[in-house]
Amino acid sequence: MPQISEKGQHLPASPIRKLTPFADKAKQDGKKVYHLNIGQPDIATPEGMLNAVKNIDFNIWAYTASEGTLAYRKKLTEYYNKHGYNITPDDILVTTGGSEAIVIAMMTCLDAGDEVIIPEPFYANYNAFAGQGDIVVKPILSVIENDFALPKASEFEKVITPKSRAIFICSPNNPTGHLYTREELEELKALCIKHDLFLLCDEAYREFCYDGRQFTSPMHLDGLDEHVIMIDTVSKRYSACGARLGCLITKNKQVWQAALKFAQARLSPGMVEQIAGEAAIDTPDSYFEAVSKEYTARRDTLVSALNKIDGVYCPTPGGAFYVVTKLPIDNADRFCQWLLEDFTYQNQTLMLAPATGFYSTPGAGLNEVRLAYVINQDDLKKAMVCLDEALKVYPGRVVNAARVAAHVE
């Protein structure tokens, strides 16, 4: 029997999805499972976007241009320029979800053995995308005690080598919810210019900034045009994860042209999605205002409930719809599986994502989990009651877990 690749053997399973069989079993056994593991919002997709799908009027479901239709790229340009990006349709490459944009950006900038520096914890699949091209991820630790702020430039300097080609950030951050400030981005800019590095930025959660905080993109900074490759998706912005429609934006023409060749190999992004994406740009501001209000309330409910549980610490993040929280547990993977397999409270349990999968450093995040606040507030409250009860009886509870001192905003 032929053997599969080393790559196929060693690729870690998704920390967000690997516990799914246990959740399925729990549900089969009649348990109610609160899904806080996955970033699949329960918010309705804008009607205009769905209506665009219902109103398609073509006879042939055809390929589009590999870089995306001009109509969609023009419409996207409107959206980005409203947000101060100062781009043209020629700077945009439409992709099949943000995932494909990341893969293409990585392959365009890095060869096998080249290094990309990513503050950890980070979205677990970056590891998988890098691994596909044998690209080396060099993590640098951001810590819960410091609200997962960007590590100091000196920390980056420690891991920069002649093989370093790029820094990769995600803001607002998945999994931590941290929103990078303009000052943090200016530090990254200095590093990228000094060491001639690309700066890849995943902005999937741009629309999710709370408490009046302002979103800043590396594309807003002067003098960084040749360095920045921005990655985006409609998944979270319009609660349209299943549309698989994203884009890669860069003003570096050499990068764009090379990225196009990778895009040409896979022929075309989805046609119906691009039609829907065009319509999505006309989503009224009131949609985002309502969504932001809802998520802010959920975050406050969640963070407040978490911090009331004995031995738990959770910062109050400025964006996205995730938190990473510290729990009084021995091992997050064991705990999350135990919740589904062995625990029940009033016939309910919850599914969480172990934070270990978001760290590249072995052993990091062992007592942390990621929660996505993508369920309604009533269910969130019930889920937190469940978590409280679970922590009381979990056999791997660590009683003397160092409680983090007062959280300073």
Q: In the window 143-202, what residues touch a copy of itself (CB under 8 A)? A: 165-166, 192, 196-198
Residue 406 in the binding site for a copy of itself (CB under 8 A): no
| Closer Cβ to a copy of itself, 199 or 391, answer by number | 199
- Give the position of tokens 């942390």: 368
Decide: is 399 part of the binding site for a copy of itself (CB under 8 A): no
Residues of this chain, 228-257, that bind a copy of itself according to CB under 8 A: 238-244, 252, 254-255
Q: Report how far residue 85's alpha carbon sits from residue 225's, in angstroms, rounded to the nearest whole number.
A: 11
Residues near a copy of itself (CB under 8 A), total: 86
C-beta of 107 vs 390, nearer to a copy of itself: 107
Tell whether residue 28 is a contact of a copy of itself (CB under 8 A).
Answer: no
In angstroms, the CA 200 to CA 118 distance is: 10
Site for a copy of itself in 80-109 (CB under 8 A): 96-97, 99-100, 103, 107-109
Question: Are 7 and 131 spatial neighbours (Cβ–Cβ below 8 Å)?
Answer: yes
Query: Which of 159, 190, 267, 290 is close enough to bind a copy of itself by CB under 8 A?
Result: 267
Task: Give me the phi and psi of 34, to 5 degrees please.
Answer: -85, 120
Count of CB atoms within 10 A of residue 167's CB? 24
Provide, rounded to whole angstroms, the least separation between the CB of residue 306 and a copy of itself.
Answer: 25
In 44-134, DSSP assigns E strands to: 92-95, 115-120
Which of residues 161, 264, 304, 361 is near a copy of itself by CB under 8 A? 264
Which phi and psi (to 5°) does residue 163 adopt? -90, -5
CA–CA separation, 340 vs 32, rounded Å? 10
Shortest CB 91 distance to a copy of itself, Å: 16
Which 46-75 positions form the footprint of a copy of itself (CB under 8 A)?
A: 49-50, 53-56, 58-64, 66
Inter-residue contact 105 to 229 (CB < 8 Å): yes
Binds a copy of itself by CB under 8 A, chosen from 152, 266, 308, 392: 266
Q: How many CA atoms lie within 13 A of 407 on its CB side?
A: 17
Please tell me the distance from the alpha carbon of residue 327 to that of residue 348, in angstroms, as a whole number: 19
Window 8-27: residues binding a copy of itself (CB under 8 A): 8-9, 11-14, 17-18
3-state percent helix, strand, coil for the chain, nearest multiple of 5: 40, 15, 45
Is 37 near a copy of itself (CB under 8 A)?
A: no
Least CB distance to a copy of itself at residue 171 (A): 20
Which residues face 170 on adjacent strands?
Answer: 202
Stretch that binds a copy of itself, among 129-137, 173-181, 284-292, 363-371 (CB under 8 A): 129-137
Residue 70 C-beta: closest distance to a copy of itself, Å: 11
Convert residues 285-324 into a mask of x (bound to a copy of itself by CB under 8 A) and - (unbound): ----------------------------------------
Rounded distance between C-alpha atoms, residue 311 and residue 403, angstroms: 6
Q: What are the DSSP E strand ranges found in 203-347?
A: 228-233, 246-249, 322-326
List all residues 6 or more positions away from 10 whose beta carbon is below 8 Å from its beta carbon.
131
8 vs 30 by CB, closer to a copy of itself: 8
Question: Amino acid letter at 130?
Answer: A
Of residues 71, 128, 385, 404, which one binds a copy of itself by CB under 8 A?
128
The least distance separating a copy of itself from the CB of residue 2, rounded to whole angstroms, comes to 5
For residue 35, what are the contacts with CB-CB under 8 A and spacing of at least 6? 23, 350, 351, 374, 375
Burial of residue 203 (number of CB atoms within 10 Å: 0-12, 13-18, 19+): buried
For residue 188 the two structure tokens come to 């990254």
Instruction: Give min distance, CB of 18 to a copy of itself, in A.
Output: 8
Identify the residue among 112, 405, 406, 408 touching a copy of itself (CB under 8 A): 112
Residue 336-365 contact track with a copy of itself, rule CB under 8 A, x = bound? ------------------------------
Q: Is residue 223 near a copy of itself by the rule CB under 8 A?
A: no
